[in-house]
Amino acid sequence: MIQQASEGPSSTTLAEKLRRVRELISATGKLEGDVRGLWFERAALLVELFVDMDYRAKLEQRLNRSVEEDEVADALDEFCAGTGYDFRQLKLLVETFPQRRQWEEGSLAAMFDEARARSSRRQEREEPARRWSVTREQWERLERENAALKRQLKRLKDKLKAAEAGEPVAA
């Protein structure tokens, strides 16, 4: 495919060297496109896993509890290493650019920017806002966290009032 540069004196002409440089640049560009094409294949397979109920069941079995969509997405992040994107970002790219050729020929950074812009416009048009269901356990945990944060806020406000009044304040 690509020949190694030979060492030692060379009788190649400038035109031959320029031709060789063009060949190497072209080969590099093709390899980059091939890699992006493989990333598309990987991302498309991960999106299939994301919606696959058997995969979700195995994940739930492994974790010994039910899982939400976000947790499935988080679990799939481990398969995205080396792409520079997490699963949610790759999923957005696949949904916006569903053809391998688009990935091979385009700049993923520019495609991702466009995908985010399209997604933002789509979300702005969606009404009403999505509602997520939560379990009683999740609700109660959120209630406890909210109460703790309110207590912390009250303590900080009290400290601020004391400091403004010139009273000593413990750290």
- 22 lies in a domain? yes
Task: Summarize pLDDT for 155-170 with one digit per residue, the tens.
Answer: 888 888 888 888 887 7
- Find the range with the poorest average confidence among 31-40, 87-96, 110-119, 145-154: 31-40
Residue 114 has pLDDT above 60, yes or no: yes
- On whether both 123 and 152 belong to a single domain, the answer is no
In a domain, 156, yes or no: yes
- Residue 58: pLDDT band (50, 70, 90) is very high
Is residue 145 assigned to a domain? yes
Q: For residues 121 and 146, state if they share a domain.
A: no
Over residues 132-141, the pLDDT tens digits come to: 788 888 888 8
Integer Cα distance of 120 and 125 in angstroms = 9
CA within 13 Å, CB half, 123: 8
pLDDT of 77 > 90? The answer is: yes
Q: What rounded mean pLDDT belongs to the chain?
A: 85
Task: Report CA 1 to chain centroid distance, whole Å.
Answer: 34
Which has the closest alpha carbon to 68: 59, 77, 80?
Answer: 59
Q: How many domains does the chain have?
A: 2
Please indicate whether residue 111 or residue 123 has the higher confidence score (pLDDT).
111
pLDDT at residue 7 in the model: 52
Helix (H) or strand (E) holding 72: helix 69-76
Residue range 20-48: mean pLDDT, rounded: 86
Query: Is 11 part of any domain?
Result: no
